[in-house]
Amino acid sequence: METYDAGAGSEDGVMRFYVTTGGTQTEYMRLTSRDAGSPEQKAVVINEGSADIGFRVESDGLNPALMVNSGTDNVGIGTDPDSGVERLHVKGTGASSTTLVRFETAEDGAGSAPHIDLYRNSATPQDGDDMGEIFFSGNHAATSGGASAGTEVYGRIRMDANDVVTGQEDGTLIFDVVAGGTLTEYFRLVASGGSAFIVFNEQGTSGPTDIDFRIEGTGNASLFRTDAANDRIGIHGVPVTSGATLQCVDTTLSYYKNLIAFRADAVATMDLTNDDCQGGMIVYTAATAVEINLPEAGVKGQWFEFVSTDGDITIDPQAGQTLNGGTGSLVRSTNNEVYTCICLDGTAWILSNPA
């Protein structure tokens, strides 16, 4: 026991507790009315000399309830903190009936709520700074239910700074999920240069997997669906892998529309593909006849238009197909007349009149 101040009415003291450790008398704890770092602060100080002395509080059935590991400079709640945790390690049972951590406020104002702040305190902030990350980790194994083979990050939420200049700050919030063993970005919320975006599958072909986007209805799992691998969009169903970029996929209705147009001059034959039958216009201006061969495997709802300024145009179905109910070719020869050819299903086409 020592005195800091012996003056009448202002007496201060310090009580120190020592244990001989390795042959040296070592201070473990002190009770002080003045702390060396803050002279006016009363304190209970553990390990004032910064020796390798931990601090542990035990509870009934939990060892320890609170642990300060002086060797790693971190704190554990419910556990001796792991050496890979920089400051705080909280461990519980994970029981579904309990809450591991709760942040509670007793204020009743409309704007009062607990806040969690991931604060990057940089003296020199720069564009592209990583502002914080939340990881979702667990063990992985060679087989389901097998022995643990280590720790895997299964998901991550990351915040980046795009612009740190006062008054024009922009950021990007990124959501990653592990796919095939690789942490993969699925979507991001982006603010950049006064514009804002929600971006799905930002990595595109450079990513390890194709990421589709799906909106479900009450009775349809693909009310709106993208097919990333084939660059297709489906409405009311999964788009087919060829044909139109935008497809309405239904048992009774199909709609294909892609803004294409091409000009054909003085060619004897045109072999169309499904991609050519997406609502495009064929403009033929030569004075000679031309034959247009339909795709071998049409898709319901495909269509195209054609017009000739001077010359016959013959539409020729493929083997096994019908055109206006027959298997033969049809000729359209009226100049400056716009004709439409539509696929009713994979084998049946119709062609508008007049001939």
In this predicted model, what pLDDT tens digit does every residue of 249-265 receive, in sequence order?
Answer: 665 444 444 544 555 56
Q: Under 8 Å CB-to-CB from 194, ≥6 apart: which residues?
A: none
Mean local confidence (pLDDT), 302-310:
89
For CA atoms 321, 326, 327, 333, the dihedral sign is: negative
Mean local confidence (pLDDT), 171-176:
97
150-170 pLDDT, tens digit per residue, is 999 999 999 999 999 999 999
- Confidence check: pLDDT of 215 > 50: yes
Give the integer Cα–Cα distance in Å for 157 and 256: 38
Q: What is the pLDDT of residue 265?
A: 60
Helix/strand/coil for 263: strand
Domain segments of the chain as ranges: 2-84, 130-141+149-206, 212-355
Give the integer Cα–Cα distance in Å for 185 and 177: 6
Confidence of residue 310 (pLDDT cuts 50, 70, 90): confident
User: Across the chain, what does the average pLDDT equal?
Assistant: 87
DSSP result, 142-175:
SSTTS-EEEEEEEEEEEEEEEE-STT--EEEEEE
CA 207: distance to chain centroid?
Answer: 12
Mean local confidence (pLDDT), 121-132:
96
Confidence of residue 230 (pLDDT cuts 50, 70, 90): confident
- Confidence check: pLDDT of 243 > 50: yes
Q: For the whole model, what pTM was predicted?
A: 0.67
Q: What is the pLDDT of residue 255?
A: 46
Q: What is the pLDDT of residue 86?
A: 93
- Confidence check: pLDDT of 306 > 60: yes
254 burial via Cβ count (<10 Å: 0-12, 13-18, 19+)? buried
- Confidence check: pLDDT of 45 > 70: yes
Q: What is the pLDDT of residue 37?
A: 60
5 and 11 Cβ atoms separated by less than 8 Å:
yes
Mean local confidence (pLDDT), 53-82:
89
Give the integer Cα–Cα distance in Å for 42 and 38: 9
Give the integer Cα–Cα distance in Å for 166 and 132: 20
Distances (CA, A) of 188 to 184, 213, 227: 12, 13, 19
Q: What is the pLDDT of residue 254?
A: 47
Confidence of residue 39 (pLDDT cuts 50, 70, 90): low
Closest alpha carbon to 345 in 231, 256, 275: 256
Percent of the chain with pLDDT over 90: 52
Q: What is the pLDDT of residue 36?
A: 58
Closest alpha carbon to 301 in 277, 271, 273, 275: 277
CA gyration radius, the chain: 37
Most confident segment among 62-71, 116-125, 300-309: 116-125
Q: What is the pLDDT of residue 286?
A: 82
Mean local confidence (pLDDT), 222-245:
85
- Long-range CB pairs of 27-35, under 8 A, 24+ apart, other chains included: 28/53, 32/4, 33/4, 34/4, 34/5
Give the integer Cα–Cα distance in Å for 186 and 213: 10
Q: What is the pLDDT of residue 35?
A: 61
- Confidence check: pLDDT of 142 > 50: yes
Mean local confidence (pLDDT), 274-303:
86
